[in-house]
Amino acid sequence: MSTSFPTEGGCDCRFVRYRMESAPLFVHCCHCRWCQRESGAAFALNAMIEADRVTSLGAEPEIVDTPSNSGLGQKIARCPKCRVAIWSHYAGTGHITKFVRIGTLDNPDVLPPDVHIFTASKQAWVVLPVDTPTFEAYYDREALWPASSLERLNELLPLTEAYQACQQGD
């Protein structure tokens, strides 16, 4: 991963701006059909990061409830003016983490994928690099993530458990 942090990004109209204060936990390139449909592209490229490591520099995005393949839905943060998707909050961790859309970074080159997932449904014309791990479905996080990212994720565990307990109470 690059050491080019903090790094900034935002939407097309620059109404929503943000700064990633540190490197993300991990960068996923997902090739599932759901991500293809949602992104309108061959894959979705997201950097998973703790929400408190993303600083708002402009207007707050609008949160849009969106269906997901899991059936639990996701909340997509979109610019209220140009409607560009900036990040997502998935059901597992909710508002505790953000899955920042790499394409919204001012310099998206700083965060290439750490892993390609759900490649069983990737577009046939997409050629995956041989030096990046690929998986037909999901993968074992413990086997692939750097120790520092696993430690950071473990620090989020009490917040994640509290969030999930609240969701079950709804």
pTM: 0.91
pLDDT mean over 43-72: 92
Closest CA to 49 of 77, 72, 69: 77
Q: What's residue 169's pLDDT?
A: 66
The count of residues in the chain is 170
Instruction: Spell out the alpha helix ranges (H) of the chain.
Output: 33-39, 141-144, 147-155, 157-169
Q: How confident is the model at residue 104 (pLDDT cuts 50, 70, 90)?
A: very high
In the 8-state DSSP scheme, what is residue 96? Answer: G
CATH of 7-169, one of 3.30.590.20, 3.30.1490.20, 2.140.10.10, 2.170.150.70: 2.170.150.70
Residue 24 pLDDT exceeds 90: yes
Dihedral in degrees, nearest 10, Cα atoms 46, 67, 71, 152: 30
Contact 58, 49 (CB under 8 A): no
All structural domains of the chain with their residue ranges? 7-169
- Which of 12-26, 66-80, 97-111 shows the lowest per-residue confidence on average (mean pLDDT)? 66-80
Identify the band that residue 30 occupies on the pLDDT scale cut at 50, 70 and 90: very high
Averaged pLDDT score across all residues of the chain:
93
